[in-house]
Amino acid sequence: MCGANSGDGLGNEEVFMKLFEHQAKDLFKENGILIPKGELVENEADCGCAIDKVGLPCVIKSQVLQGGRGKAGLIQIAATREDALLKAHDLMGNRKVRKLLFEEVLNKEKEIYLAVTIDPVDCSALIMASSEGGIDIEEIAIKTPDKIVKEKVKTFRGLLPFQARNVMFGLGLKGEAFKQGVSILLKMFELFKKLDAELVEINPLILTGDGRLVAADGKLSIDDNAAFRQKRYPITRDHFESDIEYEAAVKGIPYLQFDGKIGLMCAGAGLTNTVYDLINYYGGSVASYLEFGGPNYRRAAEAMDFTLRNKPSVVLIVTFGTIARADVMAQGIADAIEQLKPDVPIITAIRGTGEEEAGKILRKIGLEPLSDTEDAVKKAVALSIGGVG
């Protein structure tokens, strides 16, 4: 069975199409965009070799997907070999970090922000650029909004050279740097189209002392829905913060882990967000969320197993399905309970197609089929904080 998000049925493996920096940079390089000299390291033992290759001083960049790596201390600069090895050791000690990218330190004259993204309202691609790069675009938007250069690209026309020139004029680039900038932006747009990307971002694009424009960082998000016609990037443990999240993802079950008390099995993003809000509203907390809708509604045992692994004090199941039949879910849950024998209370509000039959099945195994989401949430919260349900 394919995953909830892939939907294409062409590949069995689950994919994660938001690329790591080193993957984005590989694609930049293949497509003629300059990147710094760099070396990717998976084992700490290879750090010395990487330092030899890129030279000193060097920058050591944790390959994680979270933003704000610099502020979080996940990017370090080292002047000496000893310093670099020590810093690499510390970074590898972080449980989120599994790979490091060693790079040469560039002599920077100017840091530029350059991105191609989607404007869903106009349905155009949107070029965003700023001569004040190196910080998040959100921060740029607050600090120097007047310096953001925008160019809309019509879907059926694509990015034309005059538009790329306008962006580079807007950034104040001149001479050789201007020409390189135009060429880089056109290549970024080509990648955006060719790869079904949602975002192609270079921040910063560094203008070096010797007049080269180099992509010092890279973000590339490819649309998961286009995985069927793109190179597929299989999920790896690096993509997830916890083992359970990773193992669930391998099986195509969206699962998020938190540190609260209610294990939530819910169908659909809207309903999930609502139940999550209601749990907070009534003073409860969430241990985990698992997507029980879509193709997963027939996989109650696996779903229940993942949900129980983060040791919730109560399991709350809320659905209101059309295609996902309530009776199938209820029977699945009944079977899962028999098999897994959970020692925590289970609260159910399973509604929609087949709900009457579902109610009968649940009553038979001693569960009360609730019809109101808020009642169910209130009960679960009360149980989770030790009250009477």
Partner 1 sequence: MSIFIDSETRVLVQGITGSEGSFWTKHMLGLGTPVVGGVTPGKEGQKVEGVAVFNNVRKAVTETKANASVLFVPPAFAKDAVFEALDAGIGKVVVTAEGVPVHDAMEIRSAALSEKAMVIGGNTSGVITPRTAMMGIFPYWIERVYRQGRVGVMTRSGSLTNEVTAMIIKAGFGVSTLVGVGGDSVPCTRFAELLPLFENDDGTDAVLMIGELGGTMEEEVAEAVGMGVFTKPLVAFVAGRTAPKDKKMGHAGAIATTGKGSVAGKIKALEKVGALVADRPSAVGMLMRKAMAR
- Report whether 322 contacts 297 (CB < 8 A): no
C-alpha pair distances (Å), 305 with each of 13, 315, 374: 21, 11, 25
In DSSP terms, 200 is beta-bridged to: 116, 220
Q: Report d(CA 319, CA 86) in Å as an integer.
A: 51
- Stretch binding partner 1 (CB under 8 A), from 28-36, 98-106, 149-157, 306-314: 149-157
CA–CA separation, 264 and 243 (whole Å): 18
Residue 47 CB coordination number (10 Å): 23
Which of 14, 21, 198, 201 is labelled catalytic?
201
Determine the Cα–Cα distance for residues 105 and 209; give it in Å rounded to an integer.
12
H/E run at residue 350:
strand 346-352
255 included as an active-site residue: no
Q: Which of 14, 21, 113, 276 is catalytic?
A: 113
User: Applying CB under 8 A, what is the total number of residues that bind partner 1?
Assistant: 59
Nearer of residues 36 and 354 to partner 1, judged by Cβ: 354
From 80, 322, 360, 387, residue interacting with partner 1 (rule: CB under 8 A): 322
Interface with partner 1, residue 370, by CB under 8 A: no
Binder of partner 1 out of 98, 258, 345, 357 (CB under 8 A): 258
Among 224, 302, 305, 327, binds partner 1 (CB under 8 A): 224
The binder of partner 1 chosen from 126, 132, 374, 382 (CB under 8 A): 374
**Known active-site residue 357:** no
SS3 293: coil
Strands (E), 88-147: 100-104, 108-119, 124-130
Check binding of 321 to partner 1 (CB under 8 A).
yes
Residues that bind partner 1 (CB under 8 A): 5-9, 66-67, 118, 120-121, 123-125, 136, 138, 141, 154-156, 193, 196, 198, 223-226, 228-229, 254, 256, 258, 267-274, 276-278, 280-281, 289, 291, 293-294, 319-323, 351-353, 372-374
Catalytic residues: 113, 201
